[in-house]
Amino acid sequence: MNFKWMSVALLPLMLTACGGKKADNEAAHAREEAAHADEGKVTLTEEQIASAGVQIGRPTVGGSGTLELPATIEGDPQGTQVVSAAIGGRVVALTRNLGQSVGRGQTLAVIESREAALLKGEVEASRARLALANSNLAREQRLFAQRVSPEQDLIAARTAAIEARIAYQQAQGQVAATGGGGDGINRLGIVAPVSGQVISRSVILGQSVTADAELYRIANLSSLSLSLNLQPGDAGRVKPGNNVTVTAAGRQATAKVSFISPALDAQTRLVPVIATLDNRGGEWRVGEPVTASVQLSGSGGDRAIRVPSTAVQTVEGKPVVFVRTKSGFDATPVTLGDSSGSMVIVRSGLKGSEQIATTNSFTLKAELGKSEAAHED
């Protein structure tokens, strides 16, 4: 057999087989590229979009973003005053109850005690000694003028009068420090140090109290404090003066951040923050839970892009937003930032001018899963 002739005869067959294999490979590669190009795309008509209840909108561009979290209204620390008993004794009168207003210097309680009697008795005794010292000084001044008494007697009388006056003022100061007032030698009145409203009463009539025991707590409620607790990372984007939108049932107001603690709370490991809330209208109450939306600084500046949280879905473990195309939607990967209630900041992936699925985007995620399953089949 002529092997040379056989080789020549088989060559076209070998070339044909190789060419067929190459064509099959190119066709498979083309199918793979087409499948990859369709990855993340959902093809829907206008009618299908409407029937699925998918609403379309645009991202919100602008603002520095906000952080929404629960908060509690408290009395302004600078406008809250504890009224305590300066001496021990028995409470024989209480003139104010919870919620009632009181003016500065008005009597809140009367305490009866032996110490009160001693204090008031010292005032009366020092007053009598001062009167006697002044009388002796006047007599020595006359005698010195008549050249009857020497100058040293006049100096001694003047010194005694000065010492008696000092003793009398000290006795008055001790009574004033305990509150002053009160009818009777053994009673002292406890007065309000500031004007405001009674927000706490810790005693009842007839109760025996010790020195420094709290009787009342008074607050000027025209200005309140909003108590917040932020994560350390969030606290770094909050500055004094930032606005805080306070929301409760049927009410909304704006407060301003006045204090950011430089240290974490030892128990919660959070950063305490205080905002000042104007309450001259009396709409807010101490202890009331509210929702606070805190303005953040440095969260994208004036070009921050925000989308509704309902527009974000998770596909293969990554967040995506469905962007409207001519044939349907494209699942666009995004990088998310801070969330603010129903909105979330998009740090990258969107320009802000796109049309996106804002509600019922989960139906698009389901359609995307169906199309990917069909490609795999």
Residue 13's pLDDT band, with cuts at 50, 70 and 90, is very low
Q: Which residue ranges make up each domain of the chain? A: 43-64+302-376, 67-76+222-298, 84-111+186-219, 114-185
Name the least confident of 140-144, 333-337, 368-372: 368-372
- Number of Cβ within 10 Å of residue 142's Cβ equals 11
The residue written with tokens 């839970």 in the block is 289
Residue 36's pLDDT band, with cuts at 50, 70 and 90, is very low
114-185: CATH class: mainly alpha
User: In three state form, how does the secondary structure of 61-115 look?
Assistant: ECCCCEEEEEEEEEECHHHEEEEECCCCEEEEEECCCCCCEECCCCEEEEEECHH
Residues 371-377: what's their mean pLDDT? Answer: 57
54-111: per-residue pLDDT in tens?
999 988 876 556 778 889 998 877 788 899 888 888 898 899 998 888 988 888 888 8
Name the least confident of 59-63, 250-254, 275-279, 348-352: 59-63
Closest CA to 329 of 375, 368, 360: 368
SS3 for 125?
helix
**Is the pLDDT at 310 greater than 80, yes or no?**
yes
67-76+222-298: CATH class: mainly beta
CATH ID of 84-111+186-219, from 2.40.50.100, 3.80.10.10, 3.40.50.300, 1.10.3300.10? 2.40.50.100
Higher pLDDT, 232 or 372: 232
Is residue 190 within 8 Å of 201, Cβ to Cβ? no
Q: Which fold has domain 43-64+302-376?
A: 2.40.420
